[in-house]
Structure formats: C-alpha cells, structure tokens
Amino acid sequence: MSMDQESVTIITDALKAQGVDLVVTLPEEPTSSLIHALRETPDFTVIDAASEGSGIAAAAGASLSGRTAVFVTGVAGMLVGTWALSQIGTIFGAPMVVMASYRGDFGDSSGIPGSQSLMFKQVAEPLLRTLQLPYLIVDKKESLARKIRDAVFACRDFEKPVVMLLAGEVLYP
C-alpha cells in the first residue's frame, strides 16, 4: 500500500517551498507514489540509488556542495545505511534530510508480520539515538509541511542529517 495523494501533495509542495531540488531514493512500496510524483515534477532531480549507503553518500555529497537534498527510503533501508549516516553525520557534517517510511510504528498496516514489524520499532529509534542523529516521527498530515520545514532548517543548523520517520495517516491512508 502506497501513501495517498494528499500526503504526496503536501510533501511535494513542502519540499519545493524549502528549496529541495535533489531527491535520492532507494524505491520501496510505501513511498512509491511519492517518488512517482516527484519524477513528474520538473522542480526535482530524482536519482535511484543502487544501495542504501550509495544513496546516502550521493545525497550527502550534493548537500555538502550546496544543493538541498533528501534521501527517501524505508526504515529497513535507513537501518542498513546507518554506517554511512554515522560517517556523514559525525565526520562530514552533511546537512540533509532522510525521509523513511516507518514500518513497525503503531498503526502500520503494511502487512509485514507482527514480529518483524515490531523489530523495526525496537531497533530504529534506539539506533538513531546511539548515532546521535536528530529524528522525528511524523504521523499527522496537519503537521507534515511544518515538520518538513523544521527538518530542513534543523539539518542546516545542526550541520548533520535529520531523519523523518513517516508513519500513521501520512503513510497509511
């Protein structure tokens, strides 16, 4: 199940408003409609990554060279890419936003078996805290645009990646 048109529109408009011009993605189901819409919008360059680490590195490199970049993936992709995230955050201070579909959060209707889904919840947030990466869970459409604005501001202000875990009605209509 992919996110609905209302969430896609809010995200697309908010990314444009914040000057995001590059979206790197490791495509996955919950955000497939978002990636499709971003590809159709001339304001964005959308690049598919071959792996989690290469996607994070591409977005980080673009951010360090002055572009405003976002990496869009699933929570599993974010977890696999945490080595790259730790390096670009701690060593290089790359100001970028990671948007990850938060499978495993309460209300996840993706159909992933409960024990596997719970594992994402049990691992994702503690790992982000261990890596000292700022993150927020965004589960309400009414706050989505503001949270994107805040995340883009924070990644620049903190000079490191900021992770947005997309959940609830933002991800599952």
For 122-159, what is each residue's pLDDT tens digit? 889 999 999 999 999 999 999 999 999 999 999 999 99
Residues 6 or more apart in contact with residue 156 via CB below 8 angstroms: 95
Check whether 117 has a pLDDT greater than 80: no
Here the contacts of 6-12 (C-beta below 8 Å, separation 24 or greater) are 6/141, 6/173, 7/34, 7/141, 7/144, 7/169, 7/170, 7/171, 7/173, 8/33, 8/34, 8/37, 9/37, 10/141, 10/144, 10/145, 11/99, 11/144, 11/148, 12/37, 12/38, 12/41
The domain 5-171 having CATH identifier 3.30.360.10: the answer here is no
Residue 113: is its pLDDT beyond 70?
A: no
pLDDT of residue 23: 98
Rounded Cα–Cα distance for residues 16 and 165 (Å):
19
pLDDT tier for residue 111 given thresholds of 50, 70 and 90: low
- Mean pLDDT across 82-104: 92
Hey, where are the domains in the chain?
5-171
pLDDT at residue number 50:
95
Per-residue confidence at 108, pLDDT binned at 50, 70, 90? low
Check pLDDT > 80 for residue 54.
yes
Q: What is the mean pLDDT of the chain?
A: 92
Q: What is the largest CA-CA distance in the chain?
A: 41
In the numeric block, the tokens 């980080």 are attached to: 60
Residue 110 has pLDDT above 70, yes or no: no
Say whether pLDDT at 116 is over 90.
Answer: no
Closest to 137 (Cα-Cα) out of 173, 115, 169: 169
Q: Return the amino acid letter for 135.
A: Y
pLDDT reading at 1 higher than 70: no
Q: What's the whole-model pTM score? A: 0.93
What is the mean predicted confidence (pLDDT) over 22-34? 92
Q: What tokens does 6 get? A: 């209302």
Rounded percentage of the chain residues whose pLDDT exceeds 90: 79
